[in-house]
Structure 1
Amino acid sequence: MARVTLQTIADRLGVSRATVSYAFSRPDQLSDGLRQRIMEVAAELGYAGPNPTARSLRLGRAGALGLLFGETLAYAFADPYAIGFFQGMATAAEDAGVGLLILPLPHGDRRSETVRDAVVDAFCVMSLPDGHPALAEVLARKLPVVVVDEPYVPGHPFVGTDEPAAAAAAAGHVIGLGHRRLGVAMVGLHDDGYTGWASPERQEGAVFEAMRRRCGGYRQACEDAGIDWSGVPFYEVARNSREAGKRAGHALLGRDPRPTAILTNTDVLALGVLDAAAELGLEVPGELSVVGFSDSAAEEAGLTTIRQAKQEMGEAAGRLLLSGAAAEPERLVFPHELIVRASTAPPAHA
């Protein structure tokens, strides 16, 4: 049976989720008749009200969760993966009647004041590089903390994906189709603004743990198939944008011999690679196979990709924080799925 939420009740009554939330948290904002109807429907559906721990948190302290995100706000509201995650976390917060404060930390920004001055009851840390001073500031606040994707912090709950296995599935798919000349386009290895060819040392020294592990998954799949990883051209970009993906695509497809399959660690980059292939007059998948990652807006483009449970991960992170982040730290690894679409096929043989 589906879980009953504030949105379930709102849909039944044809009102907003905020209106239903007020019935439990701010009844003085509603007429007696409307509040009574909301409570009747809630009882009918078996909804007892917001999580008591979360309600106590809201009434006794700041009433907000802090989401520390290693990017700009403009990026956050344009990136499909981030949007899906934010939606899930917002759902958990709204169901509990608490707010969500997004704290952006653009790449290269090493400040910690953002954390020190944040009036929140708990922190979700998402996609920070190893050793970032803001993480130390978060831990010093002694509030509940959940880490998403990276970096893993012993003693605190973690929410993420099995990065090596997911990447190996992507690479294994094109290898299984018969491709031996692979190329890789990746973002998120470092936060130094570099764009260009990534040496093995730069790959292995990536400061973003999840991407370091994802890169390791690609490498392991290639080595298991007898493909020399040192011979796989690897192009790194500083920003996750379609234009950056196109630039990487042109660089990879300009090599001789040209890769017959390109792996990317985001769907946004993959779409850029498809743009580059189109500009060069290459047929996909006839002359080139392309694989993305995260299944964000990939269906319309017919993109083969790895599906991640973005929204479910966000909701889980929020609920862990609202429960006090659990006395026994949990490591929630969400399943991934290879979604095969029209951008991959066996290589054409002369």
Structure 2
Amino acid sequence: MARQVPEKIRLRDVAKAAGVSQGTASNVFSRPEIVREEVRERVHAVAKELGYGGPSITGRLLRAGKVNAVGVAAIEPLSYFFEDLWARQLMAEISNICDDRGAGVALVSARNDERLAWNIGSALVDGFILLCVEGGERLVDITRQRQLPYVALAIGADDQSIPAIGVDNFNGARLAAEHMLGLGHRRLAILSTMLRDGQAGRADEAQVRQAWYSTSRDRALGYWQALQAVGMDPHSVPIYGTLEDEASTHAAMAQIFAAPEPPTAILAMSDKIAMYAVDWLFRSGRNVPGDVSVIGFDGVPEAALATPKLTTMAQPMHEIARLAVDAALGDTQVEGRRVLPTELVLRESTAPPPAK
């Protein structure tokens, strides 16, 4: 004979056993100050006897319609939030802003496509911040189905109806190249963030223009415009794709500096890549910036602590995070694309080229 599973004790069962209305029993747990002490004690005693642990916090929050929490989702692994310098800085800014507002932050895994709908649909949040949504159109579609506020960051999708916050990658890169050119550099090389998944090494114009990731493409186009403005042929400046890790960056640097006339300046599309490049230069016996100047992009905190301190194009991370949290909590919505400027931060890693 099968063992009978006992029915779950509900609030109405406690109310009936205690001889009070269900509304009174509910108030004992949610608004005890309005219930007489002897009634509270009786209801709690009955609840303990029946094994009732109290109303569902989740259910209570959902009925209230506001949980005061932001969901942050990315199509990257959850480790991305802790390992990637840019994502880590962004999460720190989001967390600080939520702390100031007494709000919570929930990381939502969107990596597993089979669990994506469940993870987004079951997240107990007021709205979502979606990171690195290039190639993540399904994440946007499923998030829309929740009918909660949301905003996308670092998105390259063509859908202009997606509320998005980003930085001006094109003009930021143009300013970075103009800085190097203004110092007198004419032999340059570009280290790119990923153009396509798994693709590293020398890239040609077609590969850049057909890149999967708009950030990499737009930054390359910005560099090229600055080169053209001083009469240089952009194709004379080699561009090497990396996997944004040490191994692929060091491999690219070895190829770049195997040329008969190696560059005197490196344009790196991220601070992380720039710092890997500086490390390779030091290991190869070259001085930064005495022999080779290096400029990064993003403005992560580690760039200011590097040796030498890294010149970079800083993103307005606090402003990005503030706008994103505002949107996710339903305060101020982002309409269409909000593009923010970057700022040139001059430090120690760039200088005029060495005298011949």
Q: Matched residues in 2 for 1:78 and 1:279: separation?
A: 24
Deviation at 1:183, TM superposition (A): 0.5
Equivalent of 1:319 in 307, 313, 326:
326
Q: Secondary structure at the match of 1:292?
A: strand
In structure 2, relative to structure 1, the CA distance for the partners of 1:112 and 1:311 (3 Å cut) is: farther
In structure 2, relative to structure 1, the CA distance for the partners of 1:174 and 1:131 (3 Å cut) is: same
How many residue pairs align between the two structures? Answer: 292
Q: Matched residues in 2 for 1:27 and 1:69: separation?
A: 38
Instruction: Tell me if the contact between 2:199 and 2:242 (Cα under 8 Å) persists in the aligned partners.
Output: yes
Match of 2:144 in 1: 139
Which digits, 9 at most, give the CA deviation of each residue in 1:73-102, with x for residues without a partner?
223212222122112222343444443222
Which digits, 9 at most, give the CA deviation of each residue in 1:28-67, with x for residues without a partner?
9xxxxxxxxxxxxxxxxxxxxxxxxxxx989315654222
Q: Matched residues in 1 for 2:82 and 2:191: separation?
A: 23
The answer to whether structure 1 residue 308 and structure 2 residue 315 are counterparts is yes
Instruction: Tell me if the contact between 2:75 and 2:136 (Cα under 8 Å) persists in the aligned partners.
Output: no
Match of 1:286 in 2: 290
Q: Secondary structure at the match of 1:129?
A: coil
Name the stretch that deviates more: 211-220 or 130-139: 130-139
In structure 2, relative to structure 1, the CA distance for the partners of 1:347 and 1:101 (3 Å cut) is: same
Instruction: Tell me if the contact between 1:309 and 1:334 (Cα under 8 Å) persists in the aligned partners.
Output: yes
| AA of the residue aligned to 1:256 | P
The answer to whether structure 1 residue 339 and structure 2 residue 341 are counterparts is no
Deviation at 1:116, TM superposition (A): 4.1
Which digits, 9 at most, give the CA deviation of each residue in 1:299-330, with x for residues without a partner?
2222111111223311220111212662x715
| AA of the residue aligned to 1:117 | N
Which digits, 9 at most, give the CA deviation of each residue in 1:85-125, with x for residues without a partner?
1122223434444432223456xx7x263244322432212
Q: Matched residues in 1 for 2:323 and 2:336: separation?
A: 11
Equivalent of 2:133 in 118, 128, 132:
128
Match of 1:72 in 2: 77
Deviation at 1:246, TM superposition (A): 2.6
Larger radius of gyration: 2
In structure 2, relative to structure 1, the CA distance for the partners of 1:273 and 1:279 (3 Å cut) is: same
Q: Matched residues in 1 for 2:215 and 2:31: separation?
A: 44
Which digits, 9 at most, give the CA deviation of each residue in 1:230-256, with x for residues without a partner?
221111112x23444333222222222
Which digits, 9 at most, give the CA deviation of each residue in 1:109-148, with x for residues without a partner?
7x26324432243221211224643233333443322111
Which digits, 9 at most, give the CA deviation of each residue in 1:187-237, with x for residues without a partner?
2322x2122112211111112223322221111111112221122111111
TM-score normalised according to structure 2 size: 0.74
Name the stretch that deviates more: 60-69 or 297-306: 60-69
Instruction: Tell me if the contact between 2:72 and 2:128 (Cα under 8 Å) persists in the aligned partners.
Output: yes
Instruction: Tell me if the contact between 1:264 and 1:293 (Cα under 8 Å) persists in the aligned partners.
Output: yes
Instruction: Tell me if the contact between 1:289 and 1:343 (Cα under 8 Å) persists in the aligned partners.
Output: yes
Match of 2:265 in 1: 261
Equivalent of 1:219 in 216, 224, 227:
224
In structure 2, relative to structure 1, the CA distance for the partners of 1:235 and 1:155 (3 Å cut) is: same
Q: Matched residues in 2 for 1:173 and 1:198: separation?
A: 23
The answer to whether structure 1 residue 246 and structure 2 residue 250 are counterparts is yes
Deviation at 1:266, TM superposition (A): 1.0
Percent identical among aligned pairs is 31
The answer to whether structure 1 residue 114 and structure 2 residue 116 are counterparts is yes
Q: Secondary structure at the match of 1:227?
A: coil
In structure 2, relative to structure 1, the CA distance for the partners of 1:87 and 1:282 (3 Å cut) is: same
| AA of the residue aligned to 2:181 | I
Q: Which runs of 5+ in 1 are unaligned?
A: 1-25, 29-55
Report matched runs for 1:1-350 at 5 Å.
Answer: 59-60=64-65, 64-105=69-110, 111=113, 113-118=115-120, 119=123, 120-130=125-135, 132-151=137-156, 153-190=159-196, 192-238=197-243, 240-296=244-300, 297-301=302-306, 302-323=309-330, 326=333, 329=335, 331-350=337-356
In structure 2, relative to structure 1, the CA distance for the partners of 1:100 and 1:182 (3 Å cut) is: same
Deviation at 1:69, TM superposition (A): 1.9
Q: Matched residues in 1 for 2:117 and 2:71: separation?
A: 9
| AA of the residue aligned to 2:297 | F
Q: Matched residues in 1 for 2:189 and 2:303: separation?
A: 20
TM-score normalised according to structure 1 size: 0.75
Q: Matched residues in 2 for 1:124 and 1:57: separation?
A: 20
Q: Matched residues in 2 for 1:347 and 1:189: separation?
A: 29
Q: Matched residues in 2 for 1:235 and 1:267: separation?
A: 16
Instruction: Tell me if the contact between 1:87 and 1:314 (Cα under 8 Å) persists in the aligned partners.
Output: no
